Amino acid sequence: MHVSLPAVDPWIREAAAEIARRAPRELEALVAVSSPSGDVHGADECASVCAALAPDAATIERVPCSSPGHAQDLILRLAGTGTRRALLVGHLDTVVAHPEHRPLTRQGEQLVGSGSVDMKGGDILAIGALRALVTRPELYAEVALLLVCDEEWRTADFGHVERFAGFDACLCFEAGELSGEDEGVVVRRKAAGTIRIEARGRSAHSGSAPDRGRNALLALAQAAQAVAARHDPQGPAHLSAVPTVLRSGDAFNVVPGSGELFCDVRADDLDAIEAILPHIPAEVGGATLHPELIRRWPGMHAEPAAVLQRASALLGRPIRPSARGGASDASHFAASIPVTIDGLGPRGGKAHNPEEFVLEASLRPRAEVALAVILAALSA
């Protein structure tokens, strides 16, 4: 027998339609700004765009970024008459360098552009949610949107956990997804780490005196193989270990005397990541290797079943919890904020790729998902 679900909450339906109506143009404006991690001017320009799109009722605050030398992060705050506090989270930086930056273009059903799905599309939905919530001040004491400018390449400790101590919910707007045919959100993420390995060798002329050198490049190549040998995504810790950046040598006719290697590592917990370090050799061919874990992101293991049940009722269709391997700033808040849910952004694909895109048709349903989750979290 067919069981009909309740219709979507009328306020959610109307507010989501307005968010989706404005989203393509707003996404075009935000993606137009090239903002690779560490670029102060790009981050400031993105912050200005977001502040202009925010509701008039929002207070605007710039606060120190977790990473030295970066532009200040942006916080938009709404004050209400209720009792609960919710934090929305996004980031403005991308992995795309200025020469490769692509402004937003429409290609069939796709809105293609640098950082569109990771995660400027989510930022636009979060700002739209703030505008919608202005009309419902009775729901909250405070709703804050934190937009950071260093998520893609942060090695320093995350600096915002204490700032939002006591908040009731953390809702992150990284890209959304489907879980089967149902809407999905992210409640589990792997821990993430970056291993940096410095090689110290000795330079020599590669033609007249090659054996006098101590080849740092060859040592780093073996280090890369040692890290890659630990790769075991189907194992008990679901460990992925991927060498990603190798720098060594300055001239084609000189034995490289120094260099560095970076490896991206993900696992269910940080202990599995740290256990890789002893497997890296200390010396190869006279060149010494010095590994360190320069980035430590905790895993996220949230259990918001009651919130998702309420949100599904408001939405009129199921919202399913799912897991994702990529890191997110939601992980930093999960240990201290009772309700943490991620993946509230639009659907799309090819993140960190020149063809990165948002599916335009996903903007309205994902705005509905985000608003339903926000309402459910504020009513807990």
At 249-282, the pLDDT tens digits run 999 999 999 999 999 999 998 999 999 999 999 9
Backbone angles phi, psi at 313, to 5 degrees: -65, -40
Q: What is the pLDDT of residue 219?
A: 98
* Residue 266, H or E segment: strand 258-267
Rounded Cα gap, residues 6 and 310, in angstroms: 12
Q: Are 132 and 19 in contact (CB under 8 A)?
A: yes
Mean pLDDT of 193-197: 96
- Predicted confidence (pLDDT) per residue in 271-312, tens digit: 999 999 999 999 999 999 999 999 889 999 888 999 999 999
Q: Report the mean per-residue pLDDT for the chain.
A: 95
Amino acid letter, residue 277: L
- Say yes or no to pLDDT of 4 above 70: no
Q: What is the pLDDT of residue 2?
A: 43
Mean pLDDT of 236-241: 94
C-alpha distances in angstroms, 77 versus 57, 59, 89, 133, 160?
A: 8, 5, 12, 11, 15
Total Cβ atoms within 10 A of residue 316: 16
Q: pLDDT band at 78, cuts 50/70/90?
A: very high
Q: What is the pLDDT of residue 378?
A: 97
Q: Which domains does the chain have, with CATH numbers?
A: 10-190+299-378 (3.40.630.10), 194-297 (3.30.70.360)
Q: What order of strands is seen across the sheet that includes strand 110-112?
A: 105-107, 110-112, 357-359, 348-349
